[in-house]
Amino acid sequence: MKRLIINKLNDWKNSGAKKPLIINGARQIGKTYTMIEFARNQYDNYIYLNFESDSSLDSIFERDYNISRIITELEALYGKQIIEERTLIIFDEIQASKHALTTLKYFNENNSSYHVISAGSLLGVALNKNKISFPVGKVDMIDMYPLNFKEFLLALNENQLLSQIEKSFITNTPLSKALHEKALDLVSQFLVVGGMPEAVSNYVLNKDYDLVRVIQKGINASYSSDMSKYSTDVETIKTKAVYDSIPSQLAKENKKFQYNMIKSGARASQYEASLEWLDKSGIIYTCYKINEPKHPIEMSKNITSYKVYLSDVGLLTAKINLNHNIILGNQEMLSSTAKGAIYENYVATELKMKNYNLYYYESEGKSEIDFIIQKEGLILPVEVKSSDNVKAKSLLVYTNRFKPEYSIKVTSKNFGFENGIKNIPHYALFNI
């Protein structure tokens, strides 16, 4: 499968790769595969170290941070010559070795001609819990996510449809009815399959939704298993409870995260650490309320009011045991809140994968804008509808008050731009 993050890795290499690179992201999103594929295509050879599966590797780095010695030992261990700029050194699950993490600083300061790339599934959690020293300013970092809908189309070889969608987005010209309906059907498939690489790969090969669900349930189970890492037994129980509450949180009319939905009488002080664990592990995305949509928007963030989304919409629909036939052909069977929750989670993941910080706006509890994004210096409201419903009372209230340059409405309706509102079909979000 083609991963768009490869373009960023190529940019890193072509820039001279003066600093080691860290890829940060949740478990099972394809970090290892992507690093090895990048190495095979862009370097003469590579060496691969996984500090979680082989704890003995840490001994190479704990003695001192002499890069020449480390390189010599790695060459002897793997039986390969490590050539500056031509060999890629891959450190996987680097959070399991604080010494290897510290070594990145010395690769940058003393031996920057070696190309080093690393990844960590629970790096943020480990840094927070174990007080590991991080080489600030000595590494480059990029975030990686599950596949977005564009990558899903590429995996299905829908290149021509993809090209038509991209052209229509730019010109605001509707697709033909046939292409529009085909693209909407593919979005429905994506709501079932999601963007976890194993699920997508299996779907491309077998088109078996039941098997996809088995894979997704396994991933959800592995995430639950990971919650015990760097946590006490009590913290683990709380983290699982927070994770399990997210579908119910999203099914409310008011999707603000409420701790009393985890357990009656629960308070933020009891569960904030668990929510932070999920956020730092990349399993969830947090969308903060802003008090007003003005620059700088980060200073308007209300840290006590937020919505929480799962990082993959397929994992969400699997977690709630939603039958694939309902999503694919009988969405009218869904309640409006459930359907809205699924599509809103999908939009959140697509925006996050485009590296947008997630915000929303609420006016005195009377009207809510699902998302507020900063694009090319503009602050734009994004209203999400699960169907072709063109009514958007909250959006009208917002535009009358704040007069944005234009607004975005995400629906199942075809492309269009009218009265300052750019309508974007669900299948074209990756263009924003």
pLDDT, one tens digit per residue, over 369-378 is 999 999 999 9
pLDDT at 430 over 90: yes
CA atoms within 13 A on the CB side of 46: 21
What ranges do the domains of the chain cover? 5-143, 149-431
Average pLDDT over residues 349-371: 92
Taking all residues of the chain, what is their mean pLDDT, rounded to a whole number?
94
- Edge-to-edge, what's the strand order for the sheet holding 45-50? 45-50, 87-92, 115-120, 21-24, 140-143
Architecture of domain 5-143 in CATH?
A: 3-Layer(aba) Sandwich (3.40)
pLDDT, one tens digit per residue, over 109-143 is 998 899 999 999 888 888 777 667 788 899 999 99
What is the per-residue pLDDT for 212? 98
pLDDT, one tens digit per residue, over 164-215 is 999 999 999 999 999 999 999 999 999 999 999 999 999 999 999 999 999 9
Tokens for 9, please give them: 């890795």
pLDDT at 412 over 90: yes
Instruction: List Cβ<8 Å contacts ≥24 apart for 156-165.
Output: 156/186, 156/204, 158/186, 161/186, 165/427, 165/428, 165/431
What is the per-residue pLDDT for 324? 96
pTM, two decimals, is 0.95
What is the per-residue pLDDT for 365? 64
* Alpha carbon 22 to its chain's center: 16
Which of the pair, 324 or 364, is modelled with greater confidence? 324
DSSP element (H, E) containing 41: helix 31-42
